[in-house]
Amino acid sequence: MCEGWAFQIKGISPRLTPPKAGKPINAPVVQLDRALASEASRPGSTPGGRTNLCKTNLSNSMSILISCLKSCNICPRNCKVNRLEGKTGYCKTGLDFNVASYNVHHGEEPPISGINGSGTIFFANCNLSCVFCQNYPISQLGNGKSCNIEKLTEIMLELEQKGVHNINLVTPTHLAVQIAITIKKAKLQGLKIPIVYNTNGYDSVETLKTLDGLIDIYLPDAKYSKNTNSKKYSNASNYWQVNKKALIEMHRQVGELKINKDGIATRGLIIRHLLLPKNISGTKEVIRFIANKISKDTFVSFMAQYHPAYNAFKYKELNRKITAKEYSSAAQALDEFGITNGWVQEL
């Protein structure tokens, strides 16, 4: 069990952990647009709509990517910008993308990190703007080095060679389709370990459906149950409506968490919930929803290590850690709604 977690359910550092020890990405090997052009020109490539990418061949998947990015509606922001022409929307990401680092990470939930670690890849930029983001140099400033499908495929295979238990894609939402194609390419080249989709939970159901069959483990946040708070602190006024639908779709695809005899997760859903001061995260309603609308058997990762970062100091209510009283009050929701699987971080 990792240091810091308790109840069978206890102890991680969340994906907010800055990837200091990560291996920096080197210069791009091949420009993504060149890779796209080459793939899309293969016989059998036809423009398509939002299709399940798992069920299409690689060439068609590339065409679908091209179609989606012409008027981007990959996430609920629905920016409608032409990312193929280098235009950028809310996530400040065009066709190419940045990767901040990749590394073997031992601080994730116990069945994700296991003994050998999780092969974590940190993508730059984000479709949320959390004022307290602990990864803001990456998520908000876009720090990282240029990458593409070819290079990302190599990274996944390199991490697998290191013996990690999974490929852990951190902040993947705005790159969902590029990532889907990379997974297909990597699998064709022998990638076998599970893929973890480590997301802020602001994902559109339509895009998630295109990933059905490619993602083994969904690791989403459930950040807020009040839209006034999600608007104020993450600039997403419909976060809870979007998040609830996304969680249901993720659960539909992968079901409850499956852990093998060695204690390693092989498939399923883990929902992360970061406790914020003054119950800004709306914990009780989040846990109620998980228990009543998804499953009481859902694994919940209850994170208590919030500390002010980035612009949190501008908000008096966010400019401190949570108190013991806030923690115990929030934790009562787990008992009240019968959630017994997961991990809890101690204060």
Q: Which parts of this chain interact with ligand SF4 (CB under 6 A)?
A: 72-75, 77-79, 81, 89-91, 93, 127, 174
Of 75 and 276, which has the nearer Cβ to ligand SF4? Answer: 75
Q: Cα torsion at 14, 99, 49, 55 (round to 10°)?
A: -70
Q: Minimal distance in Å, beta carbon 69 to ligand SF4?
A: 8
Q: Minimal distance in Å, beta carbon 202 to ligand SF4?
A: 9
Of 48 and 255, which has the nearer Cβ to ligand SF4? Answer: 48
Q: CA nearest 329: which of 271, 270, 272, 282?
A: 282
Amino acid (1-letter code) at residue 63: S
Strand locations in the chain (E)? 5-6, 97-105, 118-123, 145-147, 167-170, 195-198, 217-218, 258-259, 265-274, 299-303, 342-345
Sign for the CA dihedral angle at 128, 218, 182, 212 comes to negative
Of 206 and 212, which has the nearer Cβ to ligand SF4? Answer: 206
Of 40 and 242, which has the nearer Cβ to ligand SF4? Answer: 242
Buried b (16+ CB within 10 A) or exposed e, 22-57: beebeebeeebeebbeebbeeeebeebebeebbebe
Structure tokens at 290: 């998980």
Q: Minimal distance in Å, beta carbon 92 to ligand SF4?
A: 8
Q: Minimal distance in Å, beta carbon 43 to ligand SF4?
A: 29
Q: Minimal distance in Å, beta carbon 21 to ligand SF4?
A: 28
Of 14 and 89, which has the nearer Cβ to ligand SF4? Answer: 89
CA atoms within 13 A on the CB side of 111: 27
Of 8 and 78, which has the nearer Cβ to ligand SF4? Answer: 78
Alpha-carbon distance of 323 to 294, in angstroms, equals 29
Gap between the terminal Cα atoms of the chain:
16
- Indicate the residue whose CB is closest to ligand SF4: 89
Q: Minimal distance in Å, beta carbon 75 to ligand SF4?
A: 3
Of 5 and 233, which has the nearer Cβ to ligand SF4? Answer: 233
Structure tokens at 217: 């483990």
Q: Minimal distance in Å, beta carbon 173 to ligand SF4?
A: 7
CA distances in angstroms from 217 to 102, 255, 325, listed in the order given: 18, 9, 33
